[in-house]
Structure 1
Amino acid sequence: MKASRALSEFFPHSYRARLLALVLCCPLLPMLVLVGWLCTRNGIPPERLLFGVTVGLGATLVGTIVSLLLIYKLLDPLRRAAIALDDYYSQQKLPTLPESGDDEIGRLIRGIDRCLRGIDAGRRELERHALEDALTGAMNRRGSEQQLAHSIAMAEGGESFVLFVLDLDNLKPINDAHGHDAGDRVLVSLVDSARARCLGEHDWIGRWGGDEFLIGLRDELGQAKGRIRAWLTALAQPQDGVPAVQVSAGCAHYRPGQSAVELFREADKAMYQAKFSGGHSLVCHSQIRSPSGLDAVYAEATGQQ
């Protein structure tokens, strides 16, 4: 990079001129010096002439080697750009590319950097739309599945994780009484309220479908239940033109070795226990005392045999 900066002082706008200068000057300069020296000498003894030619050829060889090394250095920005492209392709890792002046290589490097950053921004936006629920801004079902798998992987490393399945008890009455726009506002308000009152930095909420949501809390069971209960109590109070919301919630605490499907089914069944018991309550899987008919209701609702 030092060689490139030094040559850029003489050829600031042309990378080709830098290469030509190296190729011409480094090998030819020693020969030109030798020719000039010979032209100023008359009657040189053969042994001194041989010595001068040998020195000239050696200097030319050294100059050629130096020119090749400098060309190698001049090509360093291209190598770094190639590595950056490979890294982004394999790891989606944005590079820090060198500033290389205003010549052809400098413009190429800056163009590559702009293109990579534009591609990365577009990729992130597509991922966001692919994983985000368009109405509420919560994760959609696919995003929820990914977050659940990630949370379980973290829990395998020793973190505590509690999954909540929530179903709105009174969304249909709200839609019937106030219109579907009011129902949409309720769903949006629920997500906003969860983020403001309930979710921590590493927690998440996803819309599983319709008026059913998942919440994942990286917390101990007792503290997680307390956070959800306080939040559900706040939801039950009408505010800012949003009707009061009643929610049936079920939770399950992750146990080592559980799969995402098993954990979800435990939390989902606990939510059905809450609904079966009259709704507007929170039940954890460990608290289930199945009343007669709950298993059949759950099996019918989920399509299980």
Structure 2
Amino acid sequence: MVVAFAGTHIPLLTLLFYFVNSTAVEADAKLQIVVVALLATLMGTGATLLALHSLLSPIGLTARALQSYRHQKLLPTLPTQYTDDAGVLMASTSQTLRQLDEFIQHVEDYDNLTGLPNRKLLKSQLQKEILEQQKQSSKQQIEFFIIDIDGFKDLNAVEGTDVGDRLLRAIAHRLLSYTGKSSCLARLGNDEFAFIQHPPIQQNPIQQHPIQHNPTLLTPDAVTLQTTAQTLLNLIAQPYAEINPDICITANIGIAAYPTDGESADSLIANAYTALQQAKQGGRGRYQFYSAELTEALQKRLKLANDLRLAIEKDQLLLHYQPRVDWRSGQIVGVECLVRWQHPDLGMVSPVTFIPIAEETGLITPIGEWILRKACAQNKAWQQAGLPNITVAVNLSARQIEDAALANFVQMTLAETGLAADFLELEVTESLLIGDIEHTLSVLEALHDQGIALALDDFGTGYSSLSYLRKFPFDILKIDQSFVRDMVHSADAAEVIRAIVALAKGLRLDLIAEGIETEAQLEQIKTYDCHEIQGYYYSRPLPAEQMTELLKMPNPWRSKVEGGAIASNLASNPVTMPALTSSNIR
């Protein structure tokens, strides 16, 4: 505007003053001429400014609308009835901002992979339905389901993320085809889905498959929920022939209902998760209703997790050792160390209880490191006491295998304790081999190169594959105790053991039979040419002091004396020799 004013008015005023000064006119007349000219100039300037403002106001209005949307997410209310350039600008801007807002809302509220609502939109919809019910004099039940796909992380690692994404889309399509548009189905993230059932779905369930569930309530509503949950499990478990016919998918479901299990979206979602965790603890393909008892159990579990964090530094963890015996000589040739937790208030906590907690919280890594140090130091102490040289077996967790520095840590531990690598054995289960195979192979090879024996534990119960035995540097196969327990009465179990023995011999691997508890089992395992055994027939896991006394005996089972009796005698007459303490570990 200043430029326009200067460009049009300064030359005019210059000419005026030149005219006045160059003509012979009286001073009063000159003044009148100047005043008139100035008034005319000001009026012209006002008219010019008014015209400019009229022309530029749509641009300013549009700019302010853009700023309001940018800072406050307010959609503009620009006039769209004008057809000139300024009107077209405002209309286009308004339309573009509305389309952009719709796109942003879709990105914020919907899952990009499946197109389903995401956690944020689901929670908003759930809270909206709860508020609507709270206004009613007669509240109607709202059911909330959380569905978790079992083992999806492992499947992604084996089959690849492309297959995993296709499976998630296929699962979403199946669930949506069942729940319909009347129920809000959402993907919460990763391998979790959820939906709100209100009112209850009235559809014919698809063909059932033999998947376990755990019925609790027997009310009509509960029966409907059970039918819905079981149908969803079966729906997910149907083959995915269009992707990979060999893939088997199972799921777990947690269920919570308004108003009995929560009167807000947050409490309902949290309680459904509590139920889901309980269902997952029961195994694959299960569903669980929420109850107050579950919350109490979860609180106890959380307290155990907090207590477990302090267990190492407060010296509450213990190692027990179960001997492995060569039945031909009756000599102890090794021990497997098993961790125990002496809780100050709860007493001895079972590993079945605290090991899953340790794995979930990541505490399994420091616990595993403590076990390795303690076991190596104890075996070295036995050797220094002049007791027979035996191997000590330590189980590795999935978290430890994932650590690329594991081999260095084991090497450092052997150096610190002075134990030779020949007397350490590390055990892994088949389930640990299905993740990042190349990484696992490199870690196991690094350990094997140090001279450490590697054992494949629970062979035949997990993801058995001959390629694992050929590819990974195993030295030992451990026959799972489930086969050993059944072999006396089951021809199938006996055939499985024969096959494992033949396989081990063909690959030149040593064999250990776990879970020998009776003389009949011992006599049958002898016929399979498996010489090294472990189980309660010889001894239960023993504290270090009692294991020390057992090692002092030259031949504790020379007359086939049942190991349980020896173990019981040791337990009822505790020895006085002190166990290895943390001060013995350098």
- Relative distance call for 1:217 and 1:282 in structure 2 (3 A) is same
Alignment of 1:64-79 (within 5 A): none
Offset from partner CA, 1:11-55 (integer Å, 9 cap, x none): xxxxxxxxxxxxxxxxxxxxxxxxxxxxxxxxxxxxxxxxxxxxx
- Relative distance call for 1:167 and 1:295 in structure 2 (3 A) is farther
Rounded Cα–Cα distance in structure 2 between residues aligned with 1:166 and 1:194? 10
Rounded Cα–Cα distance in structure 1 between residues aligned with 2:152 and 2:296? 27
Q: TM-score normalized by structure 2?
A: 0.32
- Relative distance call for 1:126 and 1:225 in structure 2 (3 A) is farther
Residue of structure 2 equivalent to 1:241? 243
Residue in structure 1 matching 2:289, options 284, 287, 290: 284
Shift in Å at residue 180 of structure 1?
2.8
Larger RCO, structures 1/2 (Cα 8 Å, 6+ apart): 1
CA contact (8 A) 2:274 2:294 kept: no
SS in 2 for 1:200: coil
Residue in structure 2 matching 1:162, options 139, 143, 148: 143
SS in 2 for 1:134: coil
Rounded Cα–Cα distance in structure 2 between residues aligned with 1:292 and 1:115? 56
Rounded Cα–Cα distance in structure 2 between residues aligned with 1:225 and 1:113? 54
Rounded Cα–Cα distance in structure 2 between residues aligned with 1:200 and 1:232? 20
Alignment of 1:185-196 (within 5 A): 185-196=166-177
Structure showing greater Rg: 2
Aligned partner of 1:182: which letter? V
Shift in Å at residue 228 of structure 1?
4.0
Shift in Å at residue 296 of structure 1?
3.6
Rounded Cα–Cα distance in structure 2 between residues aligned with 1:152 and 1:199? 20
SS in 2 for 1:188: helix
Residue in structure 1 matching 2:196, options 209, 216, 219: 216
Aligned partner of 2:142: which letter? F
Offset from partner CA, 1:258-279 (integer Å, 9 cap, x none): 1222211221111112112223
CA contact (8 A) 1:198 1:227 kept: no
Aligned partner of 1:237: which letter? Q
- Relative distance call for 1:283 and 1:122 in structure 2 (3 A) is same
Residue of structure 2 equivalent to 1:134? 112
Residue of structure 2 equivalent to 1:119? 97
Offset from partner CA, 1:165-208 (integer Å, 9 cap, x none): 2211131342243223222222222222222222333423132x
User: Structure 1 vs Structure 2: percent identity of aligned residues?
Assistant: 21
Rounded Cα–Cα distance in structure 1 between residues aligned with 2:93 and 2:296? 63
Residue of structure 2 equivalent to 1:40? none
Whether 2:280 is the aligned partner of 1:250: answer no
SS in 2 for 1:251: strand
Shift in Å at residue 291 of structure 1?
12
CA contact (8 A) 1:198 1:228 kept: no
- Relative distance call for 1:130 and 1:165 in structure 2 (3 A) is same
Unaligned 5+ runs, structure 2: 1-57, 201-220, 306-356, 362-586
Rounded Cα–Cα distance in structure 2 between residues aligned with 1:190 and 1:298? 32
CA RMSD of aligned residues (A): 3.8
Shift in Å at residue 130 of structure 1?
1.9
CA contact (8 A) 2:147 2:193 kept: yes
- Relative distance call for 1:290 and 1:93 in structure 2 (3 A) is closer
Residue of structure 2 equivalent to 1:201? 182
- Relative distance call for 1:121 and 1:246 in structure 2 (3 A) is same
- Relative distance call for 1:186 and 1:123 in structure 2 (3 A) is same
Rounded Cα–Cα distance in structure 2 between residues aligned with 1:269 and 1:170? 19
Shift in Å at residue 92 of structure 1?
6.6
Offset from partner CA, 1:98-142 (integer Å, 9 cap, x none): 756x5x4xx544543332222111011011112223333333333
SS in 1 for 2:181: coil
CA contact (8 A) 1:198 1:231 kept: no
> In the comparison of the two structures, how many residue pairs are matched?
214
Aligned partner of 1:139: which letter? P
SS in 2 for 1:163: strand
Which one has a larger percent helix, Structure 1 or Structure 2? 1
Rounded Cα–Cα distance in structure 2 between residues aligned with 1:260 and 1:197? 23
CA contact (8 A) 1:217 1:224 kept: no
SS in 1 for 2:153: helix
SS in 2 for 1:234: helix
Q: TM-score normalized by structure 1?
A: 0.57
Shift in Å at residue 241 of structure 1?
1.5
